[in-house]
Amino acid sequence: MPPSNGGLALQPRIDPATRENVSVLGGMFGIKVDNPDHDDTVTIAVCASVFGLTAVMLTYAWCNYNYRPIRAKNLTWTTLIYLSTVLWFLGNIPANGHVRLVGAWGHCKLWIIWFRVLFCFVFASMTIVRFYALERVFNQKKPFTMWSSFISGCVVIVLNVVYCLVNQLISGSLTTEYVELLEVCNVTQAFRIAALTFQWVLWAGVGVLFFRLRNIQSSFNEFR
């Protein structure tokens, strides 16, 4: 179990000499141990700023929703995709070791399975649905209704949640578990391979649809 002290805030750093000894021990178990430093804090701040700026632009778009070029872009779906990237980023913070994994950050299955893995899959899946909608409308000349969008969204959520639920229920020794001595999440090779394989299957789907959409014209091109 992860230690109970601390919270979601950035934690004080481990003494470098102590961390060096722990790194040696981590090497014996094949686990990479790095001490979060100033670069990690800068990384979090820069990414958070980008997400914040995107949120401002989304808010502006919603405030001007009646403008036809904006309304045509399926702003609801775009917002859901944005939220999935924010939650994916939150999972990346502990998964990539940008903070000390103590307190709430030490719940490995929560952050790695339910944030990093789940919302990476959700982001890619929702992008596929969005691209397929454009493919159906512009290339196949067929409608893609709100009902179709709703069903697709439900399928995306159910499939990805089932995948993560299975990984949650099986032993942490087969997926990811907290190593208190090293303050790291040990992720097994089998879990990495399974997650990356599924992830790249989704990215391949995105790539195929992106290629098929290369010649479509914007519904509202104000510069032509």
Domain boundaries, the chain: 16-212
Is the pTM here over 0.85, yes or no?
A: no
Q: What is the mean pLDDT of residues 42-57?
A: 96
> What is the average pLDDT across 207-223?
74
Count the alpha carbons within 13 Å of 165 in the hemisphere toward its beta carbon: 6
DSSP state, 106? G
Identify the pLDDT of residue 147: 84
CA nearest to 127, candidates 85, 166, 158? 85
Band (pLDDT 50/70/90 cuts) for residue 32 is low
Q: What tokens does 127 get? A: 């992008």
Averaged pLDDT, 198-220: 86
pLDDT exceeds cutoff 60 at 59: yes
What are the tokens at 147? 């009902």
Q: Rounded mean pLDDT of the chain? A: 83
Helix (H) or strand (E) holding 161: helix 146-169
- pLDDT for res 28: 45
Residue 121: name the closest of 78, 171, 154, 164 by CA.
164
pLDDT digits 0-9 by tens, 63-102: 999 888 888 788 988 999 999 999 999 999 999 889 988 8
159 sits in which H/E element: helix 146-169
What is the per-residue pLDDT across 124-163, written as a single tens digit (0 to 9) for each? 999 999 999 888 888 888 888 878 888 888 888 899 999 9
Task: Compute the CA torsion angle 103, 32, 85, 175 (nearest 10 deg).
Answer: -80
Q: Per-residue pLDDT for 205 more than 90?
A: yes
Given a contact cutoff of 8 angstroms between Cβ atoms, the answer to whether 59 and 218 are in contact is no
For residue 178, list its beta bridge partners: 185
Q: Report the candidate in 39, 121, 44, 41 with the shortest Cα–Cα distance to residue 89.
A: 44
| pLDDT band at residue 219 under the 50/70/90 scheme | low
- Find tokens 């990495």 and name the residue: 192
Q: Find residue 187's DSSP bridge partners.
A: 176
